[in-house]
Structure 1
Amino acid sequence: MGPISFVKEYWRLMLLLVFVSFALVALFIPGGIMADDSYVDGESVNDNPTNLEYGLGLDGGTRISAPVIGMTAENIDAGAVDEDDGQVDRERLNEIESILYDNDEFELETGDARVSVDDDGNVHAEVFTDEVTEEQFAAALAEAGVEVDPDEDIRDGVTAETRTQMIETIQSKINEAGLDGGDAYESEQLGGQHYIVTEVPDMDPDELRDLLSERGIVEVVAYYPEDDTGNHTNETVLEGGDIATVDPPQTSERGGGYEVPVEVYSNAAPEFQSRMNDLGFTGEGQGMCQLSGGEDGVNFNHDGPQYCLLTVVDGEPIDAHSMGQNLAEPMAAETWASDPSFVMGAPDQQQAQGLSVSLQAGAMPAPLDFSQEQTYSLSPALADQFKLYSLIIGGLSVLTVSGMVFLRYRDVRVASPMILTAMAEVVILLGFAALIRMPLDLSHVAGFIAVVGTGVDDLIIIADEVMDDGDVSSQRVFESRFRKAFWIIGAAAATTIIAMSPLAVLSLGDLRGFAIITILGVLIGVLITRPAYGDILQRLLTDK
């Protein structure tokens, strides 16, 4: 038999071997098929002998689900979008937003209101606080010339765009904090309420709650004398969105505290430079700041005029420092804007790290409502036990199935390939999980066990069908019976996929992982392992 004839004859079995080989590489070769940050120079930086990643149920950690605090007036007639060409009047949007902040009915903090336009040209107004009623919100919009019905046009919750931005920001926070394996996604509950779900390994609930509680709204505020009476005023001169790059925190050269070196965007730098000159920070205010930060924030007790740049995070001043000569001179000469870098202060390393994370991840547009949170937490020690128990249960399931198959056929030629093919299916699934870095959880383990059971069921159908009428030595008879069996398992596979698809698509927690693994196992079985088993049986049972 020539090579081409051999490939044509056994291509199904060769396809199975190729998939198993790739799966083994993805599972056990350092770095796998794709580059992996968990390997440095081919050496694993953790004690995991495989390339598999584990979820909370097998690695420990915390999952917190909570809705977003907010209220939305949807599809408002704000006069901000031209009906002919769809151009957006940004000044009109900013005007409405400013009126929301300046109204007399309620008080909003920085970042608590937003007026935006979605991709369809619809204008939405949002407030991110639970201290405002629908009537107050409607009244504030009316001051801006926007008439809305508080009962029909205003609803609890935020827009889909805001939730998407929340997820992206939380994911960035997780990554910037070095929490490998963390994830954030959206879950829709019964009744239509949307929850933001955050999963982080090796972190207890209080730590994760603290991370999510920090919205990360960073500002540089100028604190300077208002007049000759000794009164001082605050003015925001730089926002977190104006920061282009952030370097790791470092010990302050001023002798205490920490600094976070940053670089300002080129479009924001000239205005910041001009304002520092206008307020006197580069002249008489140079070096004129006696304030400093501590555990309780900035102490504003002082004598004499102060020219301080305050680092403010989520509305709380955490540090203050003066304009140094190295920064004041290029600003006064108006050359600093061509190389716009400086340092932001923090009193300790923890706050400096938090400041760095907030600057890099960006601000969360809205807070989470932890009064309605759903929390799941598992200690790493208990997760290790679950990992061991999962391995034991998987082994027992294989041994049990193997024993039943041998009892059923008492023919090594039929039973041995059946068990090996079923195990190959599991290896391919594990390799796929390692390739896409799917964090395996207890629900996935249940899916693997289900795949072993349903896979062997299909293989038994094939064996029974081809051996049902006794002699199967003829290749033509074997192929006829195999096609009949394959139609049966194909129909069963289609039924399983249809039944599991809603669970795989909907956000139903752990059921989703079970459904995904089951569907993948069925597809691998029908497309790869079942045909390969047919080739093996044909070789063993026919006269070919």
Structure 2
Amino acid sequence: MGPISFIKEYWRILLLVTFVAGALVALFIPGGIMADDSLVEDDEIDDNPTNIEYGLGLDGGTRISAPVIGMTAEDIDAGAVNEEDGSVDRERLTEIENTLYDNDEFELETGDARVSVDDSGNVHAEIFDPDVTEAQFAAALGEAGVDVDPDDIRNGVTEETRNQIIETIDSRINAAGLSGGSVYDSARLGGEYYIVTEVPDMDPDELRELLSERGIVEVVAYHPDENGTQQNETVLTGADIATVDPPEPDERGSGYVVPVAVDSNAAPGYQDRMNELGFTGEGVQQCSLRGDGETIEFDHEGEEYCLLTVVDGEVVDAHSMGPSLASNMADGSWANDPSFQMGAQTQPQAQSLSVNLQSGAMPATLDFSQDETYSLSPALADQFKLYSLLIGALSVLTVSGMVFLRYRDIRVASPMVVTAMAEVVILLGFAALIRMPLDLSHVAGFIAVVGTGVDDLIIIADEVMDDGDVNSQRVFESRFRKAFWIIGAAAATTIIAMSPLAVLSLGDLRGFAIITILGVLIGVLITRPAYGDILQRLMTDK
């Protein structure tokens, strides 16, 4: 038999062998097939001989779900979008946003208001301050020439804002060196959305602290005006920072610094403003403000030229302009290599500053008064991992024993058990390949796949052995096709039933449904046909 004839004859079995081999590579070869070894710590490789990642239920950690604080006036008539060509008047959007900040009814902090246009050309206005009422919001929009009924303002934020929050939290988790974390939104009844954050090996207080920071970073120039009165002026924001290096101790004194590089578009303006305010002249090294590690004391008599590092409205450090930096700014050369250091009094503040600069500011904060928290210690997770392995092994032994008791024919039972186990191996390999963290819900799905898979194989065996042993290939194939139609219909029913659970954000039920659907598809497309081929060659004369 030539190679081509061999492949045509045994292609179903060869397909099964290929998938199992690929799964084993994804499971046990360091880095798997498409993974990046640089993302895996050495101690993680030592602790876990496979490439499987574990979720909170098997690795420990915390999950926090919380809604976003904010209200939205959707699809407002702002006169900012040209109906003919779809062009957007950005100045009009800025005008409306400035009116929200400058109104007399309430006072907003930086970043608490936003006016944006979505992909469909609809204008939305959002406020992220929980103390503002719908009536006040509508009145402020009215001052900007936008007529909005307070009853049309809904709680919650736009999809664009939610996506930005998810991206920011995900970047913040990565910047903090936390591997295996995930962030997504979850729809609730009534149309409300929760932001769900899962981070392994972190307690609830640490994760809540990480999520509670808005992360709005500013460099504020604290300087005297022509009358000698001290003034504050924001000269840089986190959006103007291009790159961030890890925190390091301040060589010029106590505290820590975070080396940063300013965006090339913002650097010339910052340099010019420092020259105009006198920081590069009489203000060089003219900052005597000091703190106690928590706050900065602003009680002073003389004039001060300080660059304040402000995070979420709190001053975390005050630095003077150094002679070298001032000289480069004075002669205009600094803008060609725009780097400097932002200060912090303590190492945690410096680390938080670095993380916020790398991830960017969150458009809105989460409402922790309505949060849902799930936490599991690593020690208990290790027990669950062991128990899951024991339950899986027990289910395999139980199924194998029942199959042998039923058929008492090793030609029928052995391929059945091997094929069912191959299905689980392929599923594990797929999970390792896509870096899907396995949780207790997935373990339940694997057990369900073993049970339903063996059920289908029993249907095949019973159908082809309906009238005793079958020696004719033609009779075998006829009976196999009949059995395959039965298990195909059952598979379709299972997929239809599980699809809503896989699509909707229903927590652990989603993981169970995804594994079950994948197992059914692998069974119908790969393992069931392969078992039929194996059984045919063992039971017929061919």
Give me the whole-angstrom Cα distance separating, in 1, the residues matched to 2:224 and 2:11. 83
Secondary structure at 2:150 match in 1: coil
- Alpha-carbon shift at residue 83 of structure 1 (Å): 1.8
Q: Which residue in the other structure is 1:36 paired with?
A: 36
Counterpart position of 1:284:
282
Whichever residue aligns with residue 260 of structure 1, its letter is V
Distance in 2, matches of 1:468 and 1:267, equals 79
Which one is further off, 39-48 or 532-541? 39-48
Looking at structure 1, the residues matched to 75 and 43 of structure 2 have their Cα atoms a distance apart, in angstroms, of 55
- 2:54 corresponds in structure 1 to 54
CA distance in structure 1 between the partners assigned to 2:37 and 2:7 by the alignment: 38
Matching residue within 315, 325, 346 for 2:344 = 346
1:234 partner amino acid: N
Identity of aligned residues (%): 80
Deviation (angstroms), 1:34: 1.7
1:363-374 aligned within 5 A: 363-374=361-372
Q: Secondary structure at the match of 1:440?
A: coil
Gaps in structure 2 of 5+ consecutive residues = none
In 2, Cα distance between equivalents of 1:383 and 1:220: 44
State the Cα deviation string for residues 437-484 of structure 1 (Å, max 9, x = none).
Answer: 000000000000000000000000000000001231001000110011
1:295 shift after superposition? 2.6
Amino acid at match of 1:402: S
Q: Residue 39 of structure 1: CA displacement?
A: 7.1
Distance 2:276 2:384 in 1: 64
Name structure 1 gaps, 5 residues minimum: none
Counterpart Cα distance in 2 of 1:184 and 1:2: 53
Cross-structure match for 1:126: 126
Please report how far the alpha carbon of residue 515 of structure 1 lies from its aligned counterpart in structure 2 after TM superposition.
0.3
Aligned residues: 542
Structure 1 contact 31–39 (Cα < 8 Å) conserved: no
* Paired letter, 2:154: R
State how far apart, in whole Å, the 2-side matches of 1:401 and 1:35 are: 34
Amino acid at match of 2:248: Q
Tell me if structure 2 keeps the 8 A contact 1:38–1:45: no
How far residue 350 of structure 1 moved from its aligned partner, in angstroms, is 1.1
AA in 2 matched with 1:199: E
Structure 1: distance between partners of 2:257 and 2:523: 57
* Aligned residue type for 1:252: D
For residues 462-501 of structure 1, what are the structure 2 equivalents within 5 Å? Answer: 462-501=460-499
Cα shift readout 1:377-427 (whole Å, capped 9, x = no counterpart): 000000000000000100111111111111111111100110000000000
Q: Give the aligned partner of residue 2 of structure 1.
A: 2
Q: Distance in 2 between matches of 1:333 and 1:41?
A: 46
Aligned Cα RMSD in Å? 1.3
Aligned pair in 2 of structure 1 residues 134, 331: CA closer, same or farther (>3 Å)? same
Structure 1 residues 40 and 386 mapped into 2: Cα distance closer, same or farther (>3 Å)? closer
SS of residue matched to 1:63: strand
Q: What residue is the counterpart of 1:149 in the other structure?
A: 149
Paired amino acid for 1:172: S
Alignment map for 1:412-491 (pairs within 5 Å):
412-491=410-489
Question: What is the TM-score when the length of structure 2 is the normalising length?
Answer: 0.98
SS at match of 1:365: coil
Residues 1:40 and 1:515: Cα distance change in structure 2 (over 3 Å): closer
> Counterpart of 1:441 in structure 2: which amino acid?
D
Distance, in Å, in 2 between the alignment partners of 1:496 and 1:190 is 25
The 5 A counterparts of 1:137-286 are: 137-152=137-152, 154-228=153-227, 230-286=228-284
Q: Which amino acid in structure 2 is aligned with residue 297 of structure 1?
A: T
CA contact (8 A) 1:66 1:370 kept: yes
Q: Distance in 2 between matches of 1:428 and 1:267?
A: 51
SS at match of 2:47: coil
Match of 1:279, as an amino acid? L
Question: What is the one-letter code of the residue matched to 1:480?
Answer: S
Shift of 1:226: 2.8
Report the residue type matching 1:47 in the other structure. Answer: D
Cα-to-partner distance string for 1:305-336 (whole Å, 9 max, x where unaligned) = 00000000001010000111111111111221
Contact 1:93–1:115, Cα closer than 8 Å, also in 2: yes
- 1:108 aligned partner: 108
User: Given the superposition, is the C-alpha separation of residues 339 and 513 from structure 1 closer, same or farther in structure 2, using an over 3 Å criterion?
Assistant: same
Matched AA of 1:4: I
Structure 2 residue 64 is matched with structure 1 residue 68? no
Query: Structure 1: which amino acid aligns with 2:195?
Result: I
The aligned runs of 1:74-113 (5 Å cut-off) are 74-113=74-113
Cα deviation, 1:16-37, whole Å, max 9, x if unaligned, reads 0111011111111111112333
Does the residue aligned with 1:320 lie in a helix, a strand or coil?
Answer: strand
The superposition leaves residues 508-528 of structure 1 with CA deviations (integer Å, 9 ceiling, x where unpaired) of 000000000000000000010
Q: Does the 8 Å CA contact 2:30/2:37 hold for their aligned counterparts?
A: no
How many angstroms does 1:44 deviate by? 5.7
Q: Among 351, 374, 377, which residue is 2:375 paired with?
A: 377
